Structure 1
Amino acid sequence: MSNKILRLLFILIVAVLVSAKPLVVCSAFGNTYYVANNGNDSNPGTLERPLKTLRKVNEIKLKAGDTILFKGGETFDGMLELIVQGSNNKPVVISSYEKGAATINGGNKEAIIIKGSYFQLSNINARGAGRKTGNSTNGVSLIEASYASIENVNTQGFQKSGLDLYDCNSIQVKNVYALENGFSGINIGGSDKKKSRNILVKNCNAENNPGDPTMLENHSGNGILIAHSDSVTIDHCTATNNGWDMPRIGNGPVGIWAYESDHVLIQYCISYRNRTAKGAKDGGGFDLDGGVTNSVIQYCLSYENEGAGYGLFQYAGASLWYNNTVRYCISINDATSTEGSGGIFFWNGSDDSVQLADCIVHNNLVYSTHAPAIEFEPSSKNKNIFLYNNIFIGAEQIVNGPSSGEKFIGNVWWTTGGDIRFRGYKNLFVWADETGQEKWNGQLAGRQIDPLLKGPFTTKLIDPNQLHTLTNYTLQSSSPLINTGLNLKALFENPTASHDFYGTPIPQGINPEPGVFEWKEN
């Protein structure tokens, strides 16, 4: 073959290669695809020649180790809908590049839907048209996803939930800000058979999620909600100003809560100034609701919610509710407007005491100038509910509602001003003699005495990482409570926390202290 023919063949081959649309060059970890408003869908998706539309991105057959990067500060209209299959060492990554976070504008539909496993979604804003102005969906939806992380994501303007996990497994959700959505800021749910499992939600904020205008038969306007799930941890999260526009009267929203779930842990969270519809129920801070089992709320702060600080509820038709704990938590002036609630509130809608059973409420602090510290709704039959080592400070009827299977032992009761009554009895001593409450082995174990906390009692704290600074709820050196609490493990073989609200190991002395503070000698 002549040199001329060879030269012509070489030119033809080069021409074919240049005119082709090759994939992004593959690195050791996979392909990286860049997306920018000045791109073109005919481009290969390199940094110099990015793609342009979500439609084109959705067509990519993603492999383990692939990365999709949207240009920070830019908005991309439409829905990002991906099925991914990464691996443990090579997750698929969806994120932003250059300065700021990119925005996926879903308009009237979802912004992001992801199915699959081993992926990371980070540094992305999801925007909807508004819960009352066209949107009718969730913002970011993970469906049957596993071994994934969602981090530094803002989701706003969706009628349902800002972030929704359904039948997911081993998901970490960190630094998500869910704002101005309808049903819930963050919603974790599942089917009855599969459920969502092994979920961590940490350092997240659910704010001003007012309610779903189309949901007329049930609650909406929740902050963070867990349902039909197993092994979920909510850690260092905040919920505030949710639920104020629920479009119905009836059972309502709560800042952070769970139902029909097992092994839920809610800790180091702040839920404050949450609301409900005018004349409706709930609007509280925290709640372990119908069908919750083997779950704990600890080291949390609730204040100035319209409903109860901590609700322990069982609705008719739910699975059994049992083996739950609330410990080392604080409630300050909750139940501001929801009639019939209190700092800690019990309700059983089933009329069967076995349905609301085996619960320990210990070493909490409740302060209320206007509502009962402890409220039992008229339908509140229960079995084996024990309240130990709590400090209850209130006014007038400090504990209210009918008695059933609960037992108060070793609690401290004091007034915010004026006389306090105990289910109509004029003082602790009469209540104890008439009912046996606050007695152990025939002796009075509770005390009506000033605990001598440092004060003041109100707070404006909004950062869960600063909970340890709430020294106003610690004891003065002259407090009569030092080393006087019940040793729950020794007396009742109850499991106890390893440390107090402030991180001090328990116990420091011969006995722990009532309330949230463990006295430590200097």
Structure 2
Amino acid sequence: MNNKTRLKMNNETIKSKIIRYIKPGFIIFNVLLILVSISSAATSQTPYSGTALKVPGTIQAENFDKGGEGIAYHDTEKANQGNQYRPADGVDTEKTSDIGGGYNIGWTLPGEWLEYTINVANTGNYKLETRVANVGTGGTFHIEFNGVDKTGPITVPDTGSYQTWKTLTKTVSLSAGQQVMKIVMDKKGDYNVANINYIRITASQSSYSVTPLAIPGTIQAENFDKSGEGIAYHDTEKANQGNQYRPADGVDIEITSDIGGGYNIGWTLPGEWLTYTVKVANTGNYKLETRVANVGTGGTFHIEFNGVDKTGPITVPDTGSYQTWKTLTKTVSLSAGQQVMKIVMDKKGGYNVGNINYIRITPATTSAPIQTPTPTSTPATTRTPAPSLTPSPIVSGAFYVATNGNDANPGTEARPWRTIQKAADTLTAGQTVYVKAGTYKEQITVRNSGSAGKYITFSAYPGNTVTVDGTGINMNPGYGRDGGLIQIWGKSYIKVTGFTVINSGYAGLFVNTPGSYNNPPSHDIIFEGNTVKDSWAAAIMMFGRGSSNAENYVARNNIIIRGHMGGDPMAHESLSVGGKISNFEISGNTIKDSFWGAIDSKDGVYNGKIFGNTCTNTEMSCIYVDGYSIGADNIDVFNNVVHDMKNVGTESNGFNVNSEQGGPTTNIRFYNNLVYNNPGTAMRMASYRSGTEGKVDHITITSNTFYNNGVGNSNRGGIILERNDATNTVVRNNIIYNNGFGIKNSDADAIISNNLETNPSFVNPSANNFHLQVNSPAIDKGSAANAPKVDFDRKLRPSGTGYDIGAYEH
């Protein structure tokens, strides 16, 4: 007999009779007929309300199941001592004065129990709150689900009276479906166990994406469940040390330069963990690939599913840097259905456990590739490659574009559109288009906006090379001379990723506001993981020029080659942002072989981060921050690498900061950057202007490594401060070694201290390894003032008795 129906047999009498069945042509047989005469009716256990109580939800303690003593409950006395609500049952029930009124159970003693048939909506972790009251030392009880103790002992405090209530909280992991919850009284206090009013069970965590993460699929490490510390994750420090993506949570997250961009978790320590609500499509064996990065000896971690360790210890290797990535593979056996995946940090390596970007889970065995018929002979210009199998994950319900498509088609993978512009005309909030391999000679204008959390995404199909070629296209956007091969005018929540954009007559990727400064600007635009080559004016232009500041522009992990080809003074730098924008990010981009500058943030740029970029073989400055005519404020420039730039005289700088036409340039911070082997100056505060020179204030240059710049030229070197009217300039904790000069200063107000211009004892500068040897004079000689919290490798500062000078902490 199961838990749902139990026959009560103690008072039954059983009678039997043999009945003979005789039918012509058949064998005579006897049947023993058992007649059960029940003196007290057979009793089954059923929910009190007729249907299972819903979880999440509140379960009133007095609404235990029907079925009676020994089946739905056990009480040591037959009488209901409170004589309320269900007087025929033996459970002691009384009216409560708790908020909401109703009834509570009381007079509880060890060995008593109550059962409740419930239905749990989804597998996951739940917050279980029990409302209790008690006088004197309380007892203990626990709560089971399908016979398994999920809470452990719950100790009841002295609340002051039997009607003064307190909520006790536990976190429990529950499986989806109908089951029996059982409250079991374990230990008596001074008088009894406790009064109980209700049990409230709520989802203590939920998937970050609202719906469970799909398996097979890729689980981004930063998309751990919601609900915070101790429920969805545990982190030993309250602050998000990377201060990225989910800054309100304590998990340390930073932007990753791994293929595909996005974020990774880092600063991991033993005992920390993260949970993810997932849904496994089918029971079977899966290949589990974890993407990791680490410096030095790595630690170990493991991955659980519904509390069971499925991977065993995974050891993180030394990958060379915290942004050099390697994939570690395990095979795991998973059951179908919704469950909780948990990453648990076990053992620390040299500095921490390791960085984790994502976990990709795919079937351990795959079917043979679909055979594609040999294509018939067609002209080379129209030949389409055989289609590849759809990788996992792919957004379901997406649209498709292919060179063999037709814009009259519905845009499915089987019947794709022909042009990307068709997708740009059609897509609405939350929709994605995948563009298959090939060259598309068209200029694309995005016609619609997405919405918060529902970007319109234009993506090259994973693994395909998709080229947008501007050869022969007249770049006339209709709003003046600016424009791009892929352009966004006044639209928002747009993401463009994975394309190769070449031969643009103006910009490659472009965003701006039509009717400059008169209309609402675009916002929430992401250009990520693209390659842009041979643009006349700029590879990427992200301008606001609206009636208010444009918010949340991101240019991340793009490759720019010959991003500025023209000599027109109205052209821009390879990656240009400005014209009233705020909360912007320029990260992980590589710029090379370009004319007239690499990255320029100018003319109304606020609250930005420029980091993780690399510049090489490019004229002018790698990164220029210029208030121009509107202003620039609160911008961090860090963890960038500039090396082997082109030699075009004094303009071949690593970084430059200025105000050319009166716009104030304030609160700009340069730190943890590497500038080496360049013909020009590493860091310049320029004094040239094309109009009224503006205010330059609170420029901070700290903890950088500037090596071998402007060698042999007394006009080029380490740091030059040309502005004699700048205020609150700080130059501190920098290594400035083997340059044409160390520091040249025209700023009488500047604070210059704790910089090192003698040999810092690098590990191997000829191999561009600027870490410090153990005997380096830079170790512990820096100032704590203005020092960043971490170094170039994200190692915490300080690691010794003091802060080290330069971009690396020993």
The correspondence for 1:151, drawn from 499, 510, 528, is 528
Aligned equivalents of 2:729 and 2:418: distance in 1?
A: 56
- 2:728 corresponds in structure 1 to 358
- 3-state SS of paired residue (1:254): coil
- 1:375 corresponds in structure 2 to 744
| Conservation of the 8 A alpha-carbon contact between 1:174 and 1:204 | yes
- 2:161 corresponds in structure 1 to none
The correspondence for 1:44, drawn from 372, 392, 410, is 410
Aligned equivalents of 1:327 and 1:202: distance in 2?
A: 20
C-alpha distance 81-339 of structure 1, shift in aligned 2 (>3 A): farther
What does 1:419-430 correspond to in 2, within 5 Å?
A: none
Q: What are the Cα deviations for residues 188-217 of structure 1, in whole angstroms up to 9, with x where unaligned? A: 121xxxx1111112211011112xxxxxxx
| Conservation of the 8 A alpha-carbon contact between 2:638 and 2:672 | yes
- The one-letter code sitting in structure 2 at the alignment partner of 1:241 is N
- 2:703 corresponds in structure 1 to 328
The correspondence for 2:399, drawn from 17, 21, 33, is 33
TM-score (norm 1): 0.66
Gap regions ≥5 residues in structure 2 = 1-394, 476-483, 513-520, 545-549, 565-571
Matched, 1:293 2:293: no
The correspondence for 2:551, drawn from 145, 169, 185, is 169
| Conservation of the 8 A alpha-carbon contact between 2:754 and 2:781 | no
Aligned equivalents of 1:90 and 1:273: distance in 2?
A: 41
- The one-letter code sitting in structure 1 at the alignment partner of 2:429 is A
Shift of 1:510: 5.1
- 1:139 corresponds in structure 2 to 508
| Conservation of the 8 A alpha-carbon contact between 2:732 and 2:783 | no
| Conservation of the 8 A alpha-carbon contact between 1:170 and 1:199 | yes
C-alpha distance 506-307 of structure 1, shift in aligned 2 (>3 A): same
Shift of 1:517: 5.3
Shift of 1:54: 4.2
C-alpha distance 507-77 of structure 1, shift in aligned 2 (>3 A): closer
- 3-state SS of paired residue (1:222): coil
TM-score (norm 2): 0.44
Shift of 1:319: 2.0
- 3-state SS of paired residue (1:117): coil
Shift of 1:383: 4.0
Shift of 1:101: 3.1
Aligned equivalents of 2:676 and 2:781: distance in 1?
A: 27
- 3-state SS of paired residue (1:111): strand
Q: What are the Cα deviations for residues 205-264 of structure 1, in whole angstroms up to 9, with x where unaligned? A: 011112xxxxxxxxxx21111112111211211011111xxxxxxxxx201221112111
Matched, 1:82 2:446: yes
Matched, 1:102 2:491: no
Aligned equivalents of 2:626 and 2:409: distance in 1?
A: 49
| Conservation of the 8 A alpha-carbon contact between 2:679 and 2:716 | no
- The one-letter code sitting in structure 2 at the alignment partner of 1:231 is N
Q: What are the Cα deviations for residues 120-145 of structure 1, in whole angstroms up to 9, with x where unaligned? A: 111111111xxxxxx53011101242
- 3-state SS of paired residue (1:358): coil
- The one-letter code sitting in structure 2 at the alignment partner of 1:50 is P
| Conservation of the 8 A alpha-carbon contact between 2:756 and 2:778 | no
Aligned equivalents of 1:480 and 1:238: distance in 2?
A: 28
- 2:275 corresponds in structure 1 to none
| Aligned-pair identity (%) | 21
Shift of 1:97: 2.1
Task: Kindly tell me the number of residue pairs found equivalent between the two proteins.
Answer: 374
Shift of 1:503: 4.1
- 1:8 corresponds in structure 2 to none
What does 1:239-278 correspond to in 2, within 5 Å?
A: 239-243=615-619, 253-260=620-627, 261-277=632-648
- 3-state SS of paired residue (1:39): coil
Shift of 1:47: 1.6
| Conservation of the 8 A alpha-carbon contact between 2:703 and 2:805 | no
Shift of 1:507: 4.0
Q: What are the Cα deviations for residues 426-461 of structure 1, in whole angstroms up to 9, with x where unaligned? A: xxxxxxxxxxxxxxxxxxxxxxxxx6x25444444x
Aligned equivalents of 1:51 and 1:336: distance in 2?
A: 56
Aligned equivalents of 2:508 and 2:422: distance in 1?
A: 20
- 1:435 corresponds in structure 2 to none
Larger Rg over CA atoms: 2
| Conservation of the 8 A alpha-carbon contact between 1:282 and 1:306 | no
- The one-letter code sitting in structure 2 at the alignment partner of 1:312 is M
C-alpha distance 504-153 of structure 1, shift in aligned 2 (>3 A): closer
What does 1:113-132 correspond to in 2, within 5 Å?
A: 113-115=487-489, 116-128=491-503
| Conservation of the 8 A alpha-carbon contact between 1:233 and 1:264 | yes
- 3-state SS of paired residue (1:391): coil
- 2:608 corresponds in structure 1 to 232
Q: What are the Cα deviations for residues 336-376 of structure 1, in whole angstroms up to 9, with x where unaligned? A: 4776122111212xxxx33x22111111101116x111234
- The one-letter code sitting in structure 2 at the alignment partner of 1:173 is A
Aligned equivalents of 1:293 and 1:106: distance in 2?
A: 39
Higher helix share: 1
| Conservation of the 8 A alpha-carbon contact between 2:711 and 2:738 | no
Shift of 1:506: 3.9
Aligned equivalents of 1:33 and 1:487: distance in 2?
A: 54
- 1:389 corresponds in structure 2 to 754
Aligned equivalents of 2:540 and 2:728: distance in 1?
A: 33
The correspondence for 1:68, drawn from 409, 418, 433, is 433
| Conservation of the 8 A alpha-carbon contact between 2:509 and 2:539 | yes
C-alpha distance 504-78 of structure 1, shift in aligned 2 (>3 A): closer
| Conservation of the 8 A alpha-carbon contact between 1:325 and 1:361 | yes
Aligned equivalents of 2:421 and 2:764: distance in 1?
A: 57
Shift of 1:66: 2.3
| Conservation of the 8 A alpha-carbon contact between 1:226 and 1:257 | yes
Aligned equivalents of 2:710 and 2:561: distance in 1?
A: 24
| Conservation of the 8 A alpha-carbon contact between 1:30 and 1:65 | no
C-alpha distance 163-481 of structure 1, shift in aligned 2 (>3 A): closer
Shift of 1:385: 0.6
C-alpha distance 269-50 of structure 1, shift in aligned 2 (>3 A): same
Return the structure number with greater relative CO, CA threshold 8 A, min gap 6.
1
Q: What are the Cα deviations for residues 291-325 of structure 1, in whole angstroms up to 9, with x where unaligned? A: 43101111110012221011122334232011011
Aligned equivalents of 1:484 and 1:338: distance in 2?
A: 29
Q: What are the Cα deviations for residues 44-72 of structure 1, in whole angstroms up to 9, with x where unaligned? A: 222222121345445x243212222211x
The correspondence for 1:223, drawn from 593, 598, 601, is 598
Aligned equivalents of 2:551 and 2:698: distance in 1?
A: 24
| Conservation of the 8 A alpha-carbon contact between 2:734 and 2:806 | yes
| C-alpha RMSD over aligned residues | 2.5
Q: What are the Cα deviations for residues 441-490 of structure 1, in whole angstroms up to 9, with x where unaligned? A: xxxxxxxxxx6x25444444xxxxxxxx632xx2534x5665555554xx
Shift of 1:36: 1.2
Aligned equivalents of 2:439 and 2:667: distance in 1?
A: 44
| Conservation of the 8 A alpha-carbon contact between 2:608 and 2:636 | yes
Shift of 1:509: 5.2
Aligned equivalents of 1:208 and 1:330: distance in 2?
A: 23
Aligned equivalents of 1:501 and 1:99: distance in 2?
A: 31
- The one-letter code sitting in structure 2 at the alignment partner of 1:236 is G
- The one-letter code sitting in structure 1 at the alignment partner of 2:488 is I
